[in-house]
């Protein structure tokens, strides 16, 4: 079989390979000078060359003819207009295994691979940023939880102190009551002493008035303390509610971070897979 017969046979049989040329793939045959056969799928590198065009110097077909080796090369978009992988296999005449008579090649567009890779890398970047934000939120929620516990502890201390003040005011009230009784008794005794007890009567009257004022003050303080106690109860309840929400938020954020980590892992696998498409 001479050279033209080998090339012609391959060209005739290319039509059977048409079904293997799915989207982005083309198969071609050259002799030692030009492309002599071509079948292609949609959006394949075969859209950028045609039968009858010469083999380019420095191209994969020319290199396969020159080196007599199978050439597997990545081509930048400047060659075909899109990124592509090309395999070129030298063809030999059955009577001469030393000199190639042509090349059988396959060109595969990396257009969709590049798209998947770009999307995957952007997704990975977004996942990493979201994961970082999630971690910052989790740290913030944890800090808020710590501060809320601290505030709750301080509030409980204030409530306890309010109780101590109430006990002290009760003692003041008791003292005022006793002082008033003493003043009344002193007034009675001064009355019995008539003119001799007049000065003592004045002092006793002032003691009684002071006891009344002390009583009124303690009533006012009791009212204020009651209001403070009621407000502190509301504060404690609000802090506890906030603490519960913060704890729940921290747990949810941790779950989100774990989910983001899984998505990041899947995205990394997708990037690895895209590189081999």
Please answer whether residues 105 and 88 qualify as being in contact, where contact means their C-beta atoms are separated by less than 8 angstroms. yes
Averaged pLDDT, 165-169: 71
Could you tell me the two tokens for 95? 């009577």
Q: How do residues 188-216 score in pLDDT, each as one tens digit?
A: 766 776 666 666 666 667 776 776 777 77
Q: How do residues 113-148 score in pLDDT, each as one tens digit?
A: 655 566 667 767 776 777 676 777 767 667 777 777
In the chain, the DSSP E strands lie at 25-30, 35-40, 71-75, 84-93, 96-109
The residues near 138 (Cβ < 8 Å, ≥ 6 apart) are 250, 253, 254, 257
Res 226 pLDDT > 90: no
Among the four given CATH numbers 3.40.50.300, 3.10.20.30, 1.10.287.950, 3.40.190.10, the one describing domain 115-274: 1.10.287.950
Domain boundaries in the chain?
3-109, 115-274
Task: Could you please state the CATH topology (level 3) that the domain comprising 3-109 is classified under.
Answer: Beta-Lactamase (3.30.450)
Sheet holding 25-30, edge to edge: 35-40, 25-30, 96-109, 84-93, 71-75
The DSSP symbol for 59 reads S
Q: Which has more pLDDT, 2 or 60?
A: 60
Stretch (H or E) spanning 267: helix 198-274
Averaged pLDDT, 106-119: 72
What is the average pLDDT score of the chain?
Answer: 77
Q: Give the Cα separation of 18 and 9 in Å (integer).
A: 15
- Using the structure block, give the residue that is written with the tokens 């391959």: 10
Write down the pLDDT at residue 275: 57
3-class secondary structure, 82: coil
Check: pTM over 0.85? Answer yes or no.
Answer: no
3-class secondary structure, 89: strand
């Amino acid at each position: 079989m001479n050279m033209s017969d080998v090339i012609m046979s391959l060209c005739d049989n290319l039509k059977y390979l048409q079904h293997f040329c799915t989207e982005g793939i083309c198969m071609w045959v050259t002799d030692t000078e030009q492309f002599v056969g071509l079948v292609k799928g949609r959006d394949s590198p075969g859209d950028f060359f045609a039968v009858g065009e010469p083999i380019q110097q420095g191209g994969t077909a020319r290199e396969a003819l020159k080196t007599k080796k199978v050439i597997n090369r990545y081509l930048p978009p400047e060659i075909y207009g899109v990124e592509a992988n090309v395999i070129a296999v030298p063809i030999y005449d059955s009577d001469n295994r030393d000199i190639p008579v042509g090349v059988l090649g396959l060109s595969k567009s990396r257009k969709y691979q590049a798209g998947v890779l770009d999307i995957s890398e952007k997704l990975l970047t977004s996942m990493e940023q979201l994961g970082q934000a999630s971690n910052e939120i989790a740290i913030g929620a944890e800090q808020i939880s710590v501060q809320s516990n601290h505030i709750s502890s301080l509030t409980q201390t204030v409530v306890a102190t309010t109780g101590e003040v109430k006990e002290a005011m009760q003692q003041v009230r008791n003292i005022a009551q006793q002082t008033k009784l003493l003043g009344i008794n002193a007034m009675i005794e001064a009355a019995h002493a008539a003119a001799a007890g007049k000065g003592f009567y004045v002092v006793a009257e002032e003691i009684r008035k002071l006891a009344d004022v002390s009583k009124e003050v303690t009533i006012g303080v009791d009212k204020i303390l009651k209001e403070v106690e009621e407000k502190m109860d509301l504060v404690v309840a609000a802090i506890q509610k906030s603490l519960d929400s913060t704890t729940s938020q921290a747990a949810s954020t941790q779950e989100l971070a774990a989910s983001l980590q899984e998505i990041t892992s899947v995205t990394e696998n997708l990037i690895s897979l895209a590189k081999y498409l």
